[in-house]
Amino acid sequence: MAGRGEMTRLGVVLGAVLLALIPMFMLGFTLYFFIGEAARDKAQEELRVLAEAKRSLLQRFFDDRIINLKSVTDTQSRQGMADSSHSTSVLNLVRLQSKYFVAIEVTDENGNRLAYVGDTPQTAQPANRDGWLKSVISSGTYIGDVFVDADHVPYMFIAVNKREEAGNWIVRATLRADFIDEIIDSARSGPRDDAFVVNTDKILQSGSRFSGQLLGKSTVPDFSSDAGVSVRELSENGETKLYAEASLGSPKWILVIKEDLRDRMGSLLGLRWYIGAILALISVLVLVGAMLASGWFVEHQSPVSAESTSEQDAVIQWSKMAALGKMAAGIAHEINNPLAIIAEKAGWMKDLLEEEELSQSAHFKDLQDCVIKIRDQVERCKIVTHHLLRFGRRIAPIHETVDVNQILIDTVALFESEAYFREIQFKKDYDPLLPRISTDPTQLQQVFLNIIDNALDAVGNSGTIGVKTRKNPDISHEIVIEISDTGPGIPQSVLRHIFEPFFTTKKGGEAKGLGLSVSYSIIERLGGHIRVASEEGSGTTFTITLPLT
């Protein structure tokens, strides 16, 4: 009888442990995988935005220098520029616009020098003089590759052609090329990060930490066939590297930014291991709890009552299954405790840095940036734990009096940086007399996030997104929110399916087709309505109506 009871006890322990641990480990491994994927996607997107920003700065620099020289050819005459004293005055004026101008040379359409003023780099002029001359005459402008003088100081040429009936004349400026490193240097933030510029022959036009010397052949993969901005993962000596490549329009250069994936994903990878440790601890607790519970069960079971035995088994299994619903929330709470301590200490460090003695330190800016990054990463981890809490328990909708204008202002602010680099403008028209309403602010902001994110994707680059609020002129107890874009519009064949779950027109798994479906459900649950109007070539407008109470 004792042997039978021991076997019963072991069976109960094994069953209870398996019921508790298998779903928990499935959840744990799922979190482990998706946290890694989310971190990878986030790292790639941040690197893409960084590359786009640096490319824009470089391209803007070249465009501004072309404008500087065109203003010279448009306001000065050939005869005036041929006078050295007059050309010197012009050079001094353009130096006020950019400190990188070194010299100005004026030539006729055959390359014969009419005047030269400014400092002369101690080197022979770059080869292929006829090449740049033909290029500037045919296209009107020319931006050359970098060359160095005897002291290894980098320079480059920018030339503008002026067409006149009496004959073409050309203004060619010599500029210091160290501005390239000044622009891209902040992209080398990590100890294994690198950023550099190459031409189409993969010749380095800037300095590089690990990929070669200035004007040397770079060791990077071939990106010359790519256009725009692309991000890819490559393996180097067993380590995964992220490469971002951004092509400039003129000159035909390529900006390359390389980051170590471990540096970029460090905080979230640490979170994965922390979750693993918590799962291991919970496993031990579950095992101990199951053994204690099963021991109690065996001691109190009635050998002659099959009905009683079944009821006790059901109670144990129900308690274990109920515990599973709390595990995800427990994991989030366990993670939140060290996050709160980290956030508190980071705030304390920030207060210390504001003291006068520390603010004079040579490394004050670096320390301040580190503290800001720590607090930013803590906030990102808090978002992850919030999702764990939502997974582990249902968060009941809340109703409170809110300012819809303020929710929209906060939501738009999240997208302004991305919109700036994509040359997208937000046109805001908030009704200052808009009444407050009683609703769930978190769910409402989720709707705005989904719609504005879709609008950014629809516009692509160089467009406008409109955000407007007003009182409903037809129904006094309602307000109206309109979010419009100047994208390509939505075909009627697609429009009728737009609020259906899992319906998407995005390619390559970029979206799951749930954003608008969830938004529709939220608005209906809040007592409002959402409509969409769109025509191909005329953009799209989402109209949301919400009751005041």
Contact call for residues 444 and 522 (beta carbons, < 8 A): yes
CATH architecture group of domain 51-265: 2-Layer Sandwich (3.30)
How far is C-alpha 30 from the geometric centre of its chain's CA atoms? 24
Question: pLDDT per residue over 430-474, tens digit each?
Answer: 999 999 999 988 889 989 999 999 999 889 888 999 999 999 988
pLDDT value, residue 187: 87
**Cα dihedral sign, 327-329-331-337:** negative
CA-based end-to-end distance of the chain: 68
- Residue 177 has a pLDDT of 93
The C-alpha atoms of residue 343 and residue 272 are separated, in whole angstroms, by 19
Q: Delimit the domains of the chain by residue range.
A: 51-265, 305-395, 400-547
Predicted confidence (pLDDT) per residue in 37-55, tens digit: 777 788 888 889 999 999 9
| Regions of the chain where pLDDT drops below 50 | 1-2, 123-124, 127, 302-307, 309-325, 387, 390-395
One-letter-per-residue 3-state SS of 252-318 = CEEEEEEEEHHHHHHHHHHHHHHHHHHHHHHHHHHHHHHHHHHHHHHHHCCCCCHHHHHHHHHHHHH
Against a cut of 0.85, is the pTM above it?
no
Q: Does domain 400-547 have CATH number 3.30.565.10?
A: yes
What pLDDT was estimated at residue 301? 53
Q: Which residue has the tokens 């500029």?
A: 175
The HSE-up count of residue 464 (CA atoms within 13 Å, CB side) is 9
Architecture field, domain 305-395 = Orthogonal Bundle (1.10)
